A = this chain, B = another copy of it.
Amino acid sequence: VSLGYVDGRVVPLAEATVPLTDRGYLLGDGLFETMRAQNGHVFRLEEHAARLRHGLHVLGLDEGLITAFRDAVGALVTAADPGELYLRVHVTTGPFRDVPGMDPEPAVTGLCRPLAGYPGSAYAGLRLVTSAHRKDRRSPLSTVKHMSYLPHVLARRQAIADGADDALLLNEAGRAAEATTANVIAFRDGVAYAPGPGEGALEGVTRGVLLATIAEAAELRFSLPLDVLAEAEEAVLTNTSGGAVPVTRLDEAAIGDGRPGPWAGRLRDAYLKAVEEETR
């Protein structure tokens, strides 16, 4: 069953509302985290809290909101069924007021529902198209998970209209940054190219989990030039919903031999094992 969290209470999701005047609605002026849970345990809650803390800092909001975030997570997980859950918790700057500079009264909301993940067919390999939208590394928002998501939404919508699965966003320097809801990692000649915050990508929690596995067998580099991606043997997208999902095409070209490679399977297994160990 799907649940919402508003005004400190858990309600059926279909009944959860927010004020029209919430700045999260009017202006996209807020932050969010998406998480997965099982048996009442949220996977890597501390990493999500740390990323949220970074966002609070960039938005000039009080770090104490981390407590309200934990309360929302706890209330949703406690009220939900013990199966695999998807959680999304938001912190917005609260009601719109006309006086500039007035202290915000932040609001915390959330929702949870059964984890859907990627369809099984995704693991046969995704096709990405390069988006015209770019991440700008100079913006402090480029590494913040915030509610003004329309550029990414539009990039994804365009990719799907073009018959692809997702869009690859470049940074303003023209190197790969991320997909619209996932980090990207490519492999070539024993080196893993995993663009992170320094390249304008969000610091994905799943990416962090998988880098530990990758580091056992490959050298790590934290940028992904397009010429490297064009010659990669393999590439994956990583996020909370999918773990590691193989990417087998970029625009009109195959990546590697156009089929999922050994890294994709290895990382998917490593991710599911990490989730299982932490949430069983």
Q: Is the CB of B28 within 8 A of A6?
A: no
A13 sits at the interface (CB 8 A): yes
Main secondary structure of the interface of A (DSSP, over half): mixed
Q: In chain B, what residue has the closest Cβ to A11?
A: B20
Q: Is the CB of A157 within 8 A of B60?
A: yes
Contact A160-B111, Cβ < 8 Å, known A20-B6, A147-B28? no
With a CB–CB cut-off of 8 A, which chain B residues contact A6? 20
Q: Is the CB of B28 within 8 A of A150?
A: yes
Q: Is the CB of A160 within 8 A of B101?
A: yes
Q: Is the CB of A148 within 8 A of B28?
A: yes
Q: In chain B, what residue has the closest Cβ to A157?
A: B60
State A109–B21 Cα separation when bound (angstroms). 11
How does the 8 Å CB contact mask read for A33-61 relative to B, with 1 for contact and 0 for none? 00000000000000000000000001110
Interface size on A, residues (CB 8 A): 51
With a CB–CB cut-off of 8 A, which chain B residues contact A140? 132, 154
Residues in A118-145 with C-beta less than 8 Å from chain B: 132-134, 136, 138-141
Give chain B nearest CB distance to A162 CB in angstroms.
Answer: 11
Give chain B nearest CB distance to A99 CB in angstroms.
Answer: 10
Q: Is the CB of A161 within 8 A of B25?
A: no
A81 sits at the interface (CB 8 A): no
State A18–B26 Cα separation when bound (angstroms). 11
State A157–B23 Cα separation when bound (angstroms). 14
Q: Is the CB of A59 within 8 A of B28?
A: no
With a CB–CB cut-off of 8 A, which chain B residues contact A22? 25
Residues in A151-197 with C-beta less than 8 Å from chain B: 151, 153-154, 156-157, 160-161, 172
Q: Is the CB of B132 within 8 A of A29?
A: no
With a CB–CB cut-off of 8 A, which chain B residues contact A147? 25-28, 148, 150
A64 sits at the interface (CB 8 A): no
Q: Is the CB of B153 within 8 A of A29?
A: yes
Q: Is the CB of B17 within 8 A of A13?
A: no
Contact A139-B132, Cβ < 8 Å, known A17-B19, A21-B16, A21-B111? yes
State A147–B148 Cα separation when bound (angstroms). 7
Q: Is the CB of A18 within 8 A of B16?
A: no
Contact A141-B136, Cβ < 8 Å, known A21-B16, A25-B22? no
A249 sits at the interface (CB 8 A): no
State A136–B136 Cα separation when bound (angstroms). 9
Q: Which 7 A-B pairs have the closest CB atoms?
A: A28-B28, A148-B148, A148-B150, A17-B17, A16-B20, A27-B149, A28-B148
